[in-house]
């Protein structure tokens, strides 16, 4: 066998090896159902203790770390805050908000875009309370206020679950919630 034929066979074998043994690429990523995306997002949101709440104010966009409650079955997220905080004023003016959950260890994130509503109902405030917050709300009845975020859309990336964005546009898989849910 000549050296040229050996090189060609070796090159062909290398190409075949790459095609069949290479790890899955982004362009070959599996398609996920709506329910699978929501389930993966819920798992990320629960395992990530904190999220960022992003609001729009008169001086621009503001983000802050929050300690949310786990998402409800319909992906509604509840958060607690001080009734005199800047975020409360911003939500009153611009109720469209973004929640950003990031898990660095698994290289995954969830973005919830939604409509925030301020809730001062005493029963809801009792139901949604964390004892470690006592120092932040010495007068819990007056200082503590809930933010209820009803999702409009959800975006997710999870390297752990092989959920990646579009290889061309990088747009992440997205779930859009129906408008009837917002009421």
With beta carbons less than 8 A apart as the criterion, state whether 53 and 146 touch: no
How far apart CA 174 and CA 179 sit, in angstroms, is: 15
pLDDT at 98: 98
Q: What was the pLDDT predicted at 143?
A: 92
Calculate mean pLDDT across residues 151-169. 95
Question: What pLDDT does residue 177 have?
Answer: 96
In the chain, where the domains are located: 31-182
- What mean pLDDT is predicted for residues 60-73? 97
Q: What is the pLDDT of residue 1?
A: 52
Mean pLDDT of the region 83-94? 96
7-37 pLDDT, tens digit per residue, is 555 444 444 333 344 444 444 556 899 999 9
Question: How many whole angstroms separate alpha carbon 117 and alpha carbon 151?
Answer: 11
CATH code of the domain occupying 31-182: 2.30.110.10
User: What is the chain's mean pLDDT, rounded?
Assistant: 86
């Amino acid at each position: 066998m000549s050296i040229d034929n050996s090189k060609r066979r070796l090159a062909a074998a290398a190409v075949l090896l790459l095609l069949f043994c290479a790890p899955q690429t982004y362009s070959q990523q599996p398609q996920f159902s709506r329910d699978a995306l929501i389930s993966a997002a819920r798992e990320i949101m629960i395992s990530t203790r904190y999220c960022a709440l992003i609001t729009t104010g008169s001086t621009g966009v503001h983000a802050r770390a929050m300690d949310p409650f786990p998402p409800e079955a319909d992906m509604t997220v509840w958060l607690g805050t001080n009734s005199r905080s800047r975020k409360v004023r911003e939500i009153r003016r611009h109720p469209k908000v973004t929640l950003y959950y990031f898990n660095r260890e698994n290289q995954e994130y969830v973005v919830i875009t939604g409509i925030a509503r301020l809730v001062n109902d005493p029963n809801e405030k009792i139901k949604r309370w964390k004892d470690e917050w006592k120092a932040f709300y010495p007068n819990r009845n007056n200082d503590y206020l809930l933010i209820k975020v009803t999702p409009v859309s959800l975006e997710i990336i999870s390297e752990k679950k092989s959920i990646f964005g579009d290889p061309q546009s990088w747009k992440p898989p997205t779930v859009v919630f129906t408008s009837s849910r917002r009421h």
